[in-house]
Structure 1
Amino acid sequence: MTTLERPVLVYDGDCGFCTSSVRFLERRVPTEARVVPFQFADLDALGTTAERAEYEVLWVDRKGRVFGGAQAVSRLLTGAGGLWRLLGAVIRVPPVRWVAQGVYRLIARNRHRMPGGTAACALPAAQRPGAGESG
């Protein structure tokens, strides 16, 4: 199993809503995690795939365990300490966990309609503008 120096938050850097959400978290939630778009992450080394990273935000802890969606957000919050830790812990407890995951999925499916979202957010990565172009 992979051991990491610090946790990693992996998100979709091509999605305007995702990028805006991560920037908001970076300003408001203290974290020691490395925050990286999946397009620039070594996903194999992190123990995940592009397909999963396109589907949901991912949290890879120091032990190399991968958590997705609402549970990734929960792990980020828990690691931040203070009141954030409490919120992160609450998100892990059923039935809050189930509701949080449902809300996460609803937002993820409609991220192209959310503030900061773009049409590219709704497309699979291979169909996004610029996909396959060499720089």
Structure 2
Amino acid sequence: MDKSLIVYDGECVFCQNYVRFFRLREAIGPVELLDARSGDPRVEALWRQGYDLDEGMVFAHRGRVFHGAEAVQVLASLSSRSGLFNRLNAAIFRSPAVARMLYPALKLGRRATLMARGRSLMRPRQD
């Protein structure tokens, strides 16, 4: 796969803005953004592989899959340093320890925002 892939919650305004402000393409080339609520078969495949998309976003890059805090840390390490958002994100999240420590707060913010907007958490399809 030539393109990297970010799977995120399209109902989460924080997640939407996070992936929108990234200048990742400048640093690594083509990146596909995939809403985890889209019904795309790759989303179901991630659930079946054990990636809980309610617990974290997924970043697939060069044959590896990163989930949650690890995904945020790798994204911060790879992203372009142009723009305030990217510099700030890299400064905060490029450390694996800091990403692991702060990621639960990001998840809590997502859940609170979803609840305030009357949106549900995601769950894999039960076939």
With the length of structure 1 as denominator, give the TM-score of the two structures: 0.61
Preserved CA contact (<8 Å) 1:17 1:112: no
How much identity, in percent, do the aligned residues show?
23
Say if 2:62 is the partner of 1:68.
no
Partners of 1:89 and 1:16 in 2: how far apart? 22
Provide Cα deviations, 1:43-102, integer angstroms capped at 9, x if missing partner: 268x52176122211101121x211122212222333344759x759845xxx4223212
Preserved CA contact (<8 Å) 1:74 1:89: no
Say if 2:24 is the partner of 1:30.
yes
* Residue type at the aligned position of 1:56: G
Larger Rg belongs to: 1
Report the equivalent of 1:53. Answer: 53
Q: 4+ residue stretches of structure 1 with deviation over 6 A?
A: none
* Residue type at the aligned position of 2:66: F
Partners of 1:20 and 1:90 in 2: how far apart? 17
> Aligned residues, how many?
113
Long gaps (5+) in structure 2 = none
